[in-house]
Copies of this chain bind each other. A is one copy, B any other.
Amino acid sequence: MGLEAFNLKPLSRSNINISPNAIIGEGVRIGDNTVVHDGVEIGAGSIIGSNCTLGEPLTASYSDSNYVQPSTVIGKEAVIRSHTILYAGSTFGAGLHTGHHAVIREHCTIGDHCSVGTFGDLQGHITMGNHCRLHSSVHLAQGTRLGSFVFIYPFAVTTNDRFPPSTETIAPMIGDYTQIGVHAVILAGVHIGKHCLVAANATVNRDAADHSFLVGSPAVLKGDVRELVDAGGHPLYPWPARFDRGMPWKNDL
């Protein structure tokens, strides 16, 4: 057990409510007014902001006297910013970052080094590989599946119901390295390949092959991302080639 008061001088932390059945790793720091529920495990070196709720009990707990709280595992060195709510029953790899006010519902399986920005809204049962980055205000429908290195920008949304309301839903799948622009809409059941670029405000209503550059509402295939060049004529995509070859993706290009 390694809980210590958040070391920011000159505030002494107050009103932290931690279940005796939570497991707090070495060197974890927790801010004011945060609640850590039963069955939560926080990895060593993590920083938890103020006013958070970790291990929020599922809706079933409201009325089911036999409710069993599922475990919640937060990997080492997480940074969970203030007013974030993580439901019980999810597993997060190492290096999770959240922005402020993020909400992540139950039964998500998130890899290492992923981030969910301010006002992020993950509706549960979501899977993510490693190194995904959701900027602010991304809404992912229940069941959405992301590969690794998927980056999604503000107000983008995935949906899981084409003709609402329905009792059967099917969520989208987005491949490795794909970039989803601001205000993009990915409709129910769509599969987007690897290394794609979805433009700002596009509405994607059918599957897209690897390297697709998608534009418009409904989105059309504008070209292959490998045709996009910068002002100097250098190719822009696949984007990992623009960064250091020593990065984690060096074997994937």
Contact = CB atoms under 8 A, between A and B. Distances in A.
A83 interface: yes
B35 A228 contact: no
B100 A85 contact: yes
A11 B19 contact: yes
Dominant SS among interface residues on chain A: loop
A20 B10 contact: yes
B139 A139 contact: no
A230 interface: yes
A151 interface: yes
Copies of this chain in its oligomeric complex:
3
Interface string A51-91: 10100110101100000000000000001001101000000
Interface in A204-236: 216-217, 228, 230, 236
Contacts of A79: 59, 62
A118 B137 contact: no
A224 to B, nearest CB: 14
Contacts of A230: 163
Contact of A179 (B32, B100, B133, B165): B165
Interface in A134-191: 136-137, 139, 151, 153-155, 157, 159, 163-167, 179, 181-183, 185, 187
